[in-house]
Every structure is written in C-alpha cells, then in structure tokens.
C-alpha cells in the first residue's frame, strides 16, 4: 500500500511536469528574433517622436500661412481667428514638449532664418532685438504692460490705411563674429487708393529693409543674450527706395540708448530663449512667453557672407 502510494505520487508529479511542458510548448512565446531589446525600443520611440515632430512642423507651416504668420489675429481689431491662433500656439508648444533640442553653442544656429509664425498680438516686427530691448526696458522698471501699449500704438501709426506693410522678416546669426543680424522688409504706401473716387494710386510705393545688428552670446538653457549695436537700411530688389544716403547711414542705437535719461545708462540689452531647434526649424520664446517660429529659407538672401554688410560687421 505504501509502495502504491509512492508510485501514485510519482505518477502525478510526472503528469504535472508533462502537462506543464505541454502548456509551455503551446504558448505563443515570441522567438528571440522578435523580442525587443531596450536599445531597439529606444530607437523605435525616437523614430516615432521624429515622425510626430515632422507632422507638427508641417501643421505649423500650414497655420502660419493661413494666419499670415500670425498677423491675421489682432486683438485690437477683434477676436476673430482667436481660436486658430490658440490652435497654432498649441502645435508649437507640442513641438517643444516632444523634444528638448536646445543648442549648446551659438554655432548650431549659424546662418539665415526666416520667420514663418509668431504669437505676438501687435506686429511681427517685434522679433527684432531693437523692439525686444524696448520690451525688456519696460519690464526692468516694473511696467511690462506699457511695452504692449507701445507696440499697439506703433502698429496703429505705421500700418493703418495701408501706410506700411511688413514683408519678409529674417535673422542671420554669425557665431564667429558673435553677431545676430535682424531684418524686416517694409513697403510704404502700398495700398493708397480711395475707392469710388478712383482706382489709381495716390502715392508711389517705396521702402526697404530695416537691419538691426546686435552682439549675441548663447547663455544657459538656450538663452541668447543680445546687446543692440546699430540700425541701418538696405534696398530690397524691386522696391523703390528713398535715397542712397539712407543705405549708407548707420544709427548708433546702442550709444544713443545709454544717453536717454529713463534708461539711466543701461545698454540696449535683451534676451530670447531657443526652445527647440533642428536642421530646418527654430522656436524662440520672449520674456512675455510669446513664440516665434523660424525656418531655413527656401530662397535665401546671401547678404552677409559676400555683400557690403559683411564689411560693416567687421568695422563694428
């Protein structure tokens, strides 16, 4: 009886082992060839992130075109397009959240960039260090809201009734010289027509490119610290200018800035943060949290590497 009991226990044991092996052999266990290693999983995640960012970049280019780089939404005129602007901001913030591509050196930003979208409410010209310096000057004295009032009034004075129209807005960064050159094209009297009375232009269209040259240093966390040096102008192909004297003049903004009593000797300094950058797009954020999206231009202007402004930069 005792032997029988032992045999029974042994039989049950082997039966369980066999059943277990049978169970394991029929399980859908992946072969070693398709088991993901941590490295392959990381590569897969990075690939998906890159695809997501590419899709978001396409979306922000589309929104930038639909919103005229952000100019179509103007709270002074009304709240129309506010929803679209909110969506566009969300897309840019998603790009920033997807990847922490922050430059470690100014050299990574070298070259020409064109503005394709911004969230600023009054004037896309505000990407210029000159206007960023005004913004920070008001913030320094504890009145940041006055900067927005200034930009609002400036836009009303210069852009009402077709008096002025902003064209291409761009930046050129030269890490070797430690310079950031900002420029925007402006066409004056491009829409001076009185309906009903006639369709002829009252005044000829003229204008040019406003250029602001600043010293630039990349600080921590992608922060570009700038000091405005001077402002000048240059002709825009196909646009009538005022005179050659304007192209040859150079306004020493940095020097004049320190002489203004309300600046109390402070230099024309400003800063802006690089929140994301890759081979073809750059996202910036100013001190108010407004965003600027730049891309590498399809039709670049080779201004500063081999034209006369290069000599001006060397002389500063």
Q: What is the model's pLDDT at position 267?
A: 93
Spell out the residues 6+ positions from residue 155 whose beta carbon is closer than 8 angstroms to its own: 76, 122, 123
CA distances from 71 to 61, 75, 121, 124 (A): 14, 10, 8, 7
- Residues 53-110: tens digit of each pLDDT: 999 999 999 999 999 999 899 887 788 999 999 999 999 999 999 887 899 999 999 9
Please state, for a pLDDT cut of 90, what percent of the chain lies above it: 42
Summarised one tens digit per residue, pLDDT across range 205-263 is 667 888 999 999 999 999 999 999 999 988 888 777 766 767 778 889 999 999 988 88
pLDDT tens track for 280-303: 999 999 999 999 999 999 989 865
pLDDT band at 176 (very low <50, low <70, confident <90, very high): very high
* CB contact at 8 A, 272 and 285: yes
- Give me the sign of the Cα torsion angle 165, 79, 148, 161: positive
Q: Is the pLDDT of residue 171 over 80?
A: yes
User: Which residues are bridge partners to 164 per DSSP?
Assistant: 188
Q: How far apart are CA 194 and CA 240, in angstroms?
A: 22
Residue 311 is predicted with a pLDDT of 52
Separation between Cα atoms, residue 311 and residue 294, nearest integer Å: 26
User: pTM for the whole thing?
Assistant: 0.75
The crossing angle, in degrees rounded to 10, of helices 129-140 and 144-159 is 140
């Amino acid at each position: 009886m005792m032997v029988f009991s032992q045999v029974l226990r042994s039989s049950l044991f082997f039966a369980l082992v066999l059943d277990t092996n049978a169970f394991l052999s029929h399980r859908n266990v992946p072969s070693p060839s398709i088991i993901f290693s941590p490295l392959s999983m990381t590569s897969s995640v990075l690939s998906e992130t890159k695809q997501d960012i590419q899709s978001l970049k396409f979306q922000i280019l589309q929104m930038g075109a639909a919103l005229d780089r952000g100019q179509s939404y103007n709270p002074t005129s009304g709240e129309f397009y506010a929803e679209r602007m909110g969506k566009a901001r969300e897309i840019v913030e998603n790009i920033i959240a997807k990847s922490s591509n922050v430059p470690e050196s100014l050299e990574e930003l070298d070259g020409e960039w064109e503005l394709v979208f911004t969230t600023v409410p009054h004037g896309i010209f505000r990407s210029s260090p000159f206007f960023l310096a005004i913004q920070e000057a008001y913030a320094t004295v504890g009145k940041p809201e006055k900067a927005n009032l200034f930009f609002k009034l400036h836009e009303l004075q210069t852009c009402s009734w077709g008096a002025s129209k902003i064209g291409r807005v761009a930046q050129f960064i030269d890490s070797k010289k430690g310079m950031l050159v900002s420029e925007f094209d402006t066409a004056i009297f491009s829409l001076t027509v009185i309906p009903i009375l006639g369709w002829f232009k009252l005044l000829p269209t003229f204008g040019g490119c406003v250029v602001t040259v600043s010293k630039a240093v990349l600080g921590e966390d992608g922060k570009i610290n700038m000091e405005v040096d001077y402002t000048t102008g240059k002709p825009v192909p196909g646009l009538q200018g005022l005179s050659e004297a304007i192209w040859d003049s150079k306004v020493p903004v940095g020097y004049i800035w320190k002489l203004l009593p309300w600046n109390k000797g402070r230099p024309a300094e400003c800063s802006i943060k690089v929140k994301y950058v890759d081979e073809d797009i750059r996202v910036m954020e100013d001190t108010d949290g407004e965003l600027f999206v730049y891309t590498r231009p399809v039709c670049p202007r080779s201004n500063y590497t081999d034209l006369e402004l290069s000599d001006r930069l060397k002389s500063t």
